[in-house]
Amino acid sequence: MYRGLVEELARKNDSRILLAVIDGLGDISIEELGGRTPLEAARTPEMDRLAAGGALGVHISVARGITPGSGPAHLGLFGYDPVKYQVGRGVLAALGVGFNLKHGDLAVRINFCTLDDEGVITDRRAGRITTEKCVELVGMLADIKIDGVETFVIPVKQHRACVVFRGNDLSDDILDTDPGLVGHRPVPVDGSEKSHRVVREFQRKAEEILKDLHPANFLLMRGFALHKEFPSFEERFALDAASVALYPMYRGVAGLVGMNVFKCDPEDLSGEVKAVKKALRNGHDFVFLHHKPADSAGEDGNVSAKIRAIEEFDRALPSFLEPGFDVVCITGDHSTPCPMKLHSWHSVPVLIHGGPQRWGYSSAFSERQAIKGALGSFMSTDIMPLLLASAGKLAKFGA
């Protein structure tokens, strides 16, 4: 995709677009399903109907053979080149717990750990302390004051937390203090820049607070990442976008591109349906809807759970569509094949319904039909231009 081309051609109209992401949707041939995938085995009359009246294709997330994490995979779907717009681990961790990062913030992941009397790491996870313990320790660290920055320490889960430093002139050119192995000392923070001084001081003050507490008597830092604000969805695509997702991580990535994040009450599909309706009532013309359980089932290698997760989404689909979208796209962020129990590089089925399409090529939404669909195969970053075009939101290029 040529830089700036879509931005130049994007224009507003009244059409409304739904981008529904079934996380980890794609899969591979599974023996116990006679070579079918969970999507092929699932009963999905609603998606099949849209497939028959719409157009299918497959997307490649980052590049052929490359397995994306959730961050890059979603950025690709949102039309942001995931290699150009890399989001560091520290930033993802902070976004993942819903922390409102600002441009220039330095974020980093923390693991509470155990050091012996010699200062050597004996447990990189401090015996996987409970989340309650983590919250307690973070509370103790919250009082740390460092000259020239605001410091925010945020609990995550078990031994995991993160810290955000907010101030001018911070850089993320800092090596992990976590050596990745027990039996070593933490890697010292060298360097004379402001960030180095800030991180050293934070570490020293944290050590003072933690040193007599066992097993979590120190902390390791990894994934220093400076938060850079992205050009927003509104700037790039002239869309007033809303996100409806149950998991903080996906709300975080949506927030990163300037989507208006809607909370769901209750935190389930019915809450998501309500949030989608509210987003349209509030005048949003683009809704990103995220459905997580298919990915979780894939990561667990649970074929029947993945089928159920897909069927559950299919049953909810009419409610999601009820308020009226002009263009609907259903896809995944990446494949999470059950036999692999991991994200993978395999292409991801895409369904686009609404707007002028070549329809009648497909009878169901499946990997097998998608690869032969009317849309062909394309990069994930091509999806946004295809949706804008289908919704009549892209002007002609050239005379």
Residues of the shown chain interacting with a copy of itself in the complex, contacts defined by CB under 8 A? 1-2, 5-6, 9, 28-29, 35, 37, 58, 62-72, 82-83, 86-87, 89, 92, 223, 337, 339-340, 342-347, 356-361, 367-368, 371-374, 376-379, 382, 384-389, 394-399
Closer by beta carbon to a copy of itself, 15 or else 37: 37
Closer by beta carbon to a copy of itself, 269 or else 330: 330
- Alpha-carbon distance 25 to 382, whole Å? 18
* Distance of closest approach, residue 202 Cβ to a copy of itself, in angstroms: 22
| Residue 146 burial class via C-beta count within 10 angstroms: exposed 0-12, middle 13-18, buried 19 and up | middle
* Distance of closest approach, residue 131 Cβ to a copy of itself, in angstroms: 20
User: Cβ(178)–Cβ(184) under 8 Å?
Assistant: no
* Distance of closest approach, residue 91 Cβ to a copy of itself, in angstroms: 9
Q: What separation in angstroms does the CA of 80 have from each of 72, 148, 169, 205?
A: 9, 33, 26, 39
- Alpha-carbon distance 202 to 206, whole Å? 6
* Distance of closest approach, residue 269 Cβ to a copy of itself, in angstroms: 26
Token pair for residue 374? 């009317």
The SS3 assignment for 395 reads: coil
User: Cβ(333)–Cβ(350) under 8 Å?
Assistant: no
Closer by beta carbon to a copy of itself, 281 or else 396: 396
* Distance of closest approach, residue 327 Cβ to a copy of itself, in angstroms: 12
Token pair for residue 220? 């390791």
Closer by beta carbon to a copy of itself, 10 or else 273: 10
* Distance of closest approach, residue 303 Cβ to a copy of itself, in angstroms: 14
Closer by beta carbon to a copy of itself, 38 or else 215: 38
Closer by beta carbon to a copy of itself, 141 or else 163: 163
- Alpha-carbon distance 351 to 331, whole Å? 6
* Distance of closest approach, residue 326 Cβ to a copy of itself, in angstroms: 14
* Distance of closest approach, residue 48 Cβ to a copy of itself, in angstroms: 17
- Alpha-carbon distance 40 to 215, whole Å? 49
| Residue 322 burial class via C-beta count within 10 angstroms: exposed 0-12, middle 13-18, buried 19 and up | exposed
Closer by beta carbon to a copy of itself, 10 or else 189: 10
* Distance of closest approach, residue 371 Cβ to a copy of itself, in angstroms: 6
Closer by beta carbon to a copy of itself, 206 or else 221: 221
Token pair for residue 77? 């779907």
User: Cβ(243)–Cβ(288) under 8 Å?
Assistant: yes
Closer by beta carbon to a copy of itself, 99 or else 218: 99
- Alpha-carbon distance 309 to 259, whole Å? 26
| Residue 70 burial class via C-beta count within 10 angstroms: exposed 0-12, middle 13-18, buried 19 and up | buried
Closer by beta carbon to a copy of itself, 204 or else 358: 358
- Alpha-carbon distance 387 to 235, whole Å? 16
The DSSP result for 194-233, as a single string, is HHHHHHHHHHHHHHHHHTTSSS--EEEEEEEEE--PPPPH
* Distance of closest approach, residue 49 Cβ to a copy of itself, in angstroms: 15
